[in-house]
Structure 1
Amino acid sequence: MKHIFISILLLGFSIEVFCQTEITNKMQSNRYERGWKKLKEIDGEAGEKVIESLKDISPELGIYIIEYAFGDIYAREGLDLKSKEIAVVASLIAMGNAKPQLKVHINGALNTGSSINELKEVILQMSVYSGFPSAINGMNALKEVLEERQKQGIKDEIGKSATISNQTDRLKLGEKELSKLDSSQVERLKNTYNEFSPELVKFILEYGYADIFSRDNLSEKYRQIATISALAALGTAEPQLKFHINAGLNIGLTETEIKEIMLLMTVYSGFPSAINGTNILKEVILERSINR
């Protein structure tokens, strides 16, 4: 019996040594080194704290975050780092259940070139796609991050303020803004909902497009990146995602850039949402090629 007990102890020790050796080997891999370098470039101290917090409970998770999220995905060159962080901030706000990670990526967005006002615009825009509670939570997270960075002596760029529109007819302004994305969408929207819920059409155009999309301190490109990533992460709005993928292509996003957004979503909302988003992108590309 004593020999059996000793054998079990030795087996347990051997497994532990093997696991520690595997972890050490992984930490010396090229993927790990590449990922750690990219993590430090984007998230700095905030990202390091997340990895450190996992060491006692699941060092493997920390390794996979570094190797896959940062070594495989963030290291890709099809989408610049500022765009990636805007996409991630939007997706995390839309999902609404990852405040610590949202704060890390707000830090990352500021570190990679986003101004304070650009991030405020991304958050305001999420009120359209995931509701006011998610936008309020996002704005509070931004406020906390800015206070923490100020204590560290970091001075972030405020950025351009939105120009106040002198257009008094919000409905007409909304139609104009939506038409920039797709010239026939206003007509489609009215044909679909005017008889059943004209109020919905009115509020989409007046709030979504006149109040939010008309603001000129976030580029059309970043607005579509934020919207596409949020809708992909939510996973419940395929027709709207299809429209905004098409709109993104209309205003200058490339097929490669949208593919990279979907790859990025494998990290933040999972492979199913990335697969669904990629399939929708595939549909849009096919339809555009047929309609040329």
Structure 2
Amino acid sequence: MTDSFDRGLALIQKLGGLERPAVLDLFASIGEPGFGERCVGFIYGEVYHREGLSLPERQLVTVGALTALGYASSQLRFHANAALNVGCTRRQVTEAITCAGEISGSPADEVVQELATRDSGSRGLSPVERETVAVAACVALGSASSRLETHLHALLAIGGTRKQIVETLLHLAFYVGFPAALNAMAVAGDVFGGE
């Protein structure tokens, strides 16, 4: 195994709290275990370790994007619980789901109800975290350019950084798809150019 896979496997085990991540079994079930290992190595062993977003921040943007997609409930459950496993509070995760659901029209009430059973602190989203989640939701929608631009400007105005935005967009490419991430990069480039 490669260093990236070993590091990715350790991280996904931490996120999910399981020795054998289900994602590896999914790839194996279609006869592509090697592809699954490469995905775990690249996404969880490399992308997740890039500077610019902390692990809890990465989980919050992932939760926001998966909520906005509206069709990834299994992955949303995994990442909502993973957010709690890496230090996010239940309130932060619930607020991320609510924020993204309001933007996308895809509420995830069943996941919010399931989170009620997890004991966690009471700290909610900071203004920067809330805007970052809103950006993630807009990226997931893929066609919300004007709303994305508004949230990017708002994020920068309250102390968010270009690096934070770039890492959010790169991170989300693996959750919402490359075309949606490329569209968002074009909007971000315009916002950055206007500063």
State which of 31, 42, 49 in structure 1 corresponds to 2:22.
49
Determine the structure 2 residue equivalent to 1:247. Answer: 154
State which of 51, 62, 66 in structure 2 corresponds to 1:88.
62
Q: Percent identity?
A: 30
Q: Does 1:139 align with 2:109?
A: yes
Q: Is 1:40–1:47's contact at 8 Å kept on the other side of the alignment?
A: yes
Q: Does 1:225 align with 2:132?
A: yes
Aligned residues: 194
Task: Return the alpha-carbon distance in structure 2 between the equivalents of residues 31 and 106 of structure 1.
Answer: 24
Q: Does 1:33 align with 2:6?
A: yes
Report how far residue 265 of structure 1 moved: 1.2
Task: Return the alpha-carbon distance in structure 1 between the equivalents of residues 81 and 94 of structure 2.
Answer: 13
Q: Secondary structure at the match of 1:218?
A: coil
Larger CA Rg, structure 1 vs 2:
1
Report how far residue 101 of structure 1 moved: 0.7
Structure 2 spans left out of the alignment, 5+ residues: none
Task: Return the alpha-carbon distance in structure 2 between the equivalents of residues 98 and 60 of structure 1.
Answer: 24
Report how far residue 42 of structure 1 moved: 2.4
Q: Secondary structure at the match of 2:29?
A: coil
**Residues 144 and 46 (structure 1 numbering): CA distance in 2 closer, same or farther, change over 3 Å?**
farther
Report how far residue 281 of structure 1 moved: 1.2
Q: Is 1:120–1:139's contact at 8 Å kept on the other side of the alignment?
A: no
Determine the structure 2 residue equivalent to 1:124. Answer: 98
Q: Secondary structure at the match of 1:45?
A: coil
What amino acid sits opposite 1:140 in the alignment?
E
**Residues 244 and 79 (structure 1 numbering): CA distance in 2 closer, same or farther, change over 3 Å?**
same
Q: Is 1:92–1:268's contact at 8 Å kept on the other side of the alignment?
A: yes
1:206-246 deviation per Cα after TM superposition (whole angstroms, max 9, x unaligned): xxxxxxxxxxx321011011000110111111011011111
RMSD: 1.9
Task: Return the alpha-carbon distance in structure 2 between the equivalents of residues 78 and 265 of structure 1.
Answer: 14
State which of 167, 176, 183 in structure 2 corresponds to 1:269.
176
What amino acid sits opposite 2:49 in the alignment?
A
What amino acid sits opposite 2:122 in the alignment?
G
Determine the structure 1 residue equivalent to 2:81. Answer: 107
Q: Is 1:38–1:75's contact at 8 Å kept on the other side of the alignment?
A: no
Report how far residue 264 of structure 1 moved: 0.8
Report how far residue 273 of structure 1 moved: 1.4
The normalised TM-score by structure 1 is: 0.62
**Residues 128 and 157 (structure 1 numbering): CA distance in 2 closer, same or farther, change over 3 Å?**
same
1:14-61 deviation per Cα after TM superposition (whole angstroms, max 9, x unaligned): xxxxxxxxxxxxxx1122112112222323229712323432323134
Q: Is 1:245–1:284's contact at 8 Å kept on the other side of the alignment?
A: yes
**Residues 273 and 46 (structure 1 numbering): CA distance in 2 closer, same or farther, change over 3 Å?**
farther
TM alignment of 1:48-67, pairs within 5 A: 48-57=21-30, 58-67=32-41
What amino acid sits opposite 2:81 in the alignment?
N
The normalised TM-score by structure 2 is: 0.91
Report how far residue 64 of structure 1 moved: 3.0
Greater RCO, CA 8 A, separation 6+: 2
Structure 1 spans left out of the alignment, 5+ residues: 1-27, 148-154, 161-216
